[in-house]
A and B are shown apart, each in its own frame.
Chain A
Amino acid sequence: MSVLSAESRRDFEIHRYPVLIYALVPIAALVLQAWLPRVMGRFAWFDLPLVVTVFFALSRRNPIQGSILGGAMGIFEDALTGHAIGINGIAKTLVGYLAASVGVLVNVENHAIRLVLTFLLSLVGSATYFFVVRFLLGMSIDSNWLAELYKAIGNSLIALVLFPVLDRTKIRD
């Protein structure tokens, strides 16, 4: 019985997707994240770029790619706001890195693990965001942790639905 090293196991379990998915899903997430809150108002308890970041980071199991993807998504989000660019970038960079790092260690095919990871990483992202805004930038912020909790739950539920859908698009060897 051959024993796979960590590197070989990681390579074996890396999910690959068509380039179109890599291009369109993040853009769609950014567009919907910019557009749906206009429709749903204060009930837009989700962060689609974060969910997409977690998904690709977990699937790719590459912290560098996860960090870069998270950073890009965050910067795009920041670019659409009037705030300084980099706030969401820093938060999602960290989230992407952590997701990819954890993805190496756990079975990312399990829906429950995905659910819990998405929930926890959402809270980490929110915490990072507040940290950057409050301590790095010295800006005042209305820290409503209940809303962040709802957002984490919303992200988890979206992940529960979205991840299996995106799994269907992966390239099988």
Chain B
Amino acid sequence: MESFFVRYRNLVVLLALLVAQILGLAMQVRRSSGGQTADGNSVQLIRLWANSIVSPPERALHSSGSGISGLWNNYVDLRHVRQRNAELQKTVDRLRLEQAALLEDAKQGQRLQALLKFQQKYIYKTVAAQAIGTSGTDQSRVFYIDKGKDEGIDRDMAVITADGIVGKIRDVFPHTSQVLAINDQSSGAGVILESTRIRGILRGNGAGQPQIEDVIRDQRIKAGENVLTAGGDQIFPRGLPVGVVDRVLNDPDRDGFVEVIVKPAAHLDQLDEVLVVTSTEPRFPPDQQQDIATSEALKGAEAEQQKTSEGMAEKLPGLIDPSLPADQQPLKDTSNPNPVSRPPVAVHPDRFTPGNATTPNVPAAPESNQGSPATDQNAPKKKPVVPKPATNQPAANPPATPQGENR
């Protein structure tokens, strides 16, 4: 018997455990079927033990940052947040770059638009160019543009912007050109003050500011006065804006002369796009060219018509009898602005009076007495026909010009 338990002890223990638990289950089931909903003391004790063992770690997990779930979720979220943050940071950086590029493009577009508008309106032929480099030193105020001989650029061509003049072409290369800015000391441009009409030569000073030299001291020169190109240097077309007078300084070398410091109209330090005036032949837009052609055609037709009228007038008999005074013309046509003038009728004719040479001794009766009663009535009003100058003709006729209407 003993050997049986020893030999099958594992199985016996298993059966014992199973039977014990089945009995326990049976007791619990019997208790619940008997109407008692509460567990027995032993079962309650087991539940208490189990709860006492499991609850503290659970509470600890729950209290420590919502437990492992919170840690796990936070970890996952944090990892995602970091990744998302990195992605967002990249997006922000990319958007900033794009925004800067777009802003730059927009600014360039506005500049080009203004330049194009100016170029279209400008009367001379120009070539747009981009500033691509500088001399690299402050002492030399030259810069390079991306257009050269192949694009029709040549030396001494004016370089301008919509704001004002910039400089002139100094050297030309096949695809680039060197521009000498107006604030360089070796530059020179003929300029004129807009209101005072004082002329001078504009060149740069040591500080890189353009100034007008060889100007006699004049109290009328004030700051803020516009400076324009004079057009006498054969480089810059006449009337282009140069800048405004910034201040007037006495010339230290010559008494009675002043140096007019000019604030340039063009942004010489921030040049991007410029125009090179390649031809000073006036270039009109199509509509203006059409207007000019129409005007010239009208002028030619009018001249032709006048010429024809004169020819016809010579050939046809005149409606105006040159031997009669104006008020006795058959048609009383006074439209002729230049009627043939007759000598005035003498009040006391003598032998020298025209038409009275045959009766020099007989006092001729006044011509008024020889006329009709109607004529007599008009005798006091009779006045010699004096040709009126052509300039008075509009006064005789109602003015038809817009200026006359405005008056």
State whether A76 and B18 are in contact (beta carbons under 8 Å apart), knowing that A34-B58, A85-B24, A137-B25 are contacts in the complex.
no
A125 within 8 Å of B (CB atoms)? no
B28 within 8 Å of A (CB atoms)? yes
With a cutoff of 8 Å between Cβ atoms, the chain B residues found around residue A90 in the complex are 18, 21-22, 25
A-side interface residues, number (CB < 8 Å): 31
Contact pattern, A 85-120, Cβ under 8 Å of B = 1, otherwise 0 = 111011001100100010000000000000000000
Contact pattern, B 14-29, Cβ under 8 Å of A = 1, otherwise 0 = 1001100110110011
B49 to chain A, nearest CB (A): 7
A84 touching B14 by the CB < 8 A rule? no
State whether A84 and B53 are in contact (beta carbons under 8 Å apart), knowing that A31-B58, A35-B58, A97-B14 are contacts in the complex.
no
A84 touching B28 by the CB < 8 A rule? yes
State whether A68 and B28 are in contact (beta carbons under 8 Å apart), knowing that A31-B58, A39-B68 are contacts in the complex.
no
A31 touching B57 by the CB < 8 A rule? yes
With a cutoff of 8 Å between Cβ atoms, the chain B residues found around residue A76 in the complex are 50, 53-54
A63 within 8 Å of B (CB atoms)? yes
B9 within 8 Å of A (CB atoms)? yes
Q: Which of B14, B28, B53, B72 has the most CB of A within 10 A?
A: B14
B10 within 8 Å of A (CB atoms)? yes
Residue of A nearest to B42 (CB): A85
Q: Among the listed A34, A101, A136, which residue makes an inter-chain contact with B22, where contact means beta carbons less than 8 Å apart?
A: A136
Q: Which of B25, B47, B49, B58 has the most CB of A within 10 A?
A: B25
Residue of B nearest to A98 (CB): B14
With a cutoff of 8 Å between Cβ atoms, the chain A residues found around residue B81 in the complex are none
Contact pattern, A 57-69, Cβ under 8 Å of B = 1, otherwise 0 = 0000001100110
Instruction: For the complex, give the distance between the alpha carbons of A86 and B43 in Å.
Output: 10
B50 touching A71 by the CB < 8 A rule? no
State whether A67 and B57 are in contact (beta carbons under 8 Å apart), knowing that A84-B25, A86-B28, A97-B10 are contacts in the complex.
no
Instruction: For the complex, give the distance between the alpha carbons of A30 and B43 in Å.
Output: 18
B47 touching A79 by the CB < 8 A rule? yes
Instruction: For the complex, give the distance between the alpha carbons of A64 and B25 in Å.
Output: 21
B37 to chain A, nearest CB (A): 11
Q: Which of A28, A64, A79 has the most CB of B within 10 A?
A: A79
Contact pattern, B 52-95, Cβ under 8 Å of A = 1, otherwise 0 = 01100110010000011100100000000000000000000000
A interface secondary structure, majority: helix
Instruction: For the complex, give the distance between the alpha carbons of A136 and B58 in Å.
Output: 32
B53 touching A27 by the CB < 8 A rule? yes
Instruction: For the complex, give the distance between the alpha carbons of A94 and B14 in Å.
Output: 7
B-side interface residues, number (CB < 8 Å): 29
A75 within 8 Å of B (CB atoms)? yes
B403 to chain A, nearest CB (A): 96
A25 within 8 Å of B (CB atoms)? no
B10 touching A64 by the CB < 8 A rule? yes
Instruction: For the complex, give the distance between the alpha carbons of A80 and B69 in Å.
Output: 21
With a cutoff of 8 Å between Cβ atoms, the chain A residues found around residue B13 in the complex are 63-64, 67-68
B306 within 8 Å of A (CB atoms)? no
Interface residues of B in 229-251 (CB under 8 A from A): none
Residue of B nearest to A34 (CB): B54
State whether A101 and B10 are in contact (beta carbons under 8 Å apart), knowing that A27-B57, A35-B67, A39-B69 are contacts in the complex.
yes
State whether A80 and B25 are in contact (beta carbons under 8 Å apart), knowing that A35-B58, A63-B14, A85-B43 are contacts in the complex.
no
A132 within 8 Å of B (CB atoms)? yes
Residue of A nearest to B70 (CB): A39
Known: A39-B67, A132-B25. 5 other contacts (CB 8 A): A39-B68, A79-B46, A80-B50, A86-B25, A94-B18
- A residues sitting closer than 8 Å to B (CB atoms) are 27-28, 30-31, 34-36, 38-39, 63-64, 67-68, 71, 75-76, 79-80, 84-87, 89-90, 93-94, 97, 101, 132, 136-137
What are some 27 contacts across the A-B interface (CB < 8 A)? A31-B57, A35-B57, A35-B68, A39-B67, A39-B68, A39-B72, A63-B10, A63-B11, A63-B14, A64-B9, A64-B10, A68-B17, A71-B21, A76-B50, A76-B54, A79-B46, A79-B50, A80-B47, A84-B25, A84-B28, A85-B28, A85-B47, A86-B21, A86-B24, A90-B21, A90-B25, A93-B14
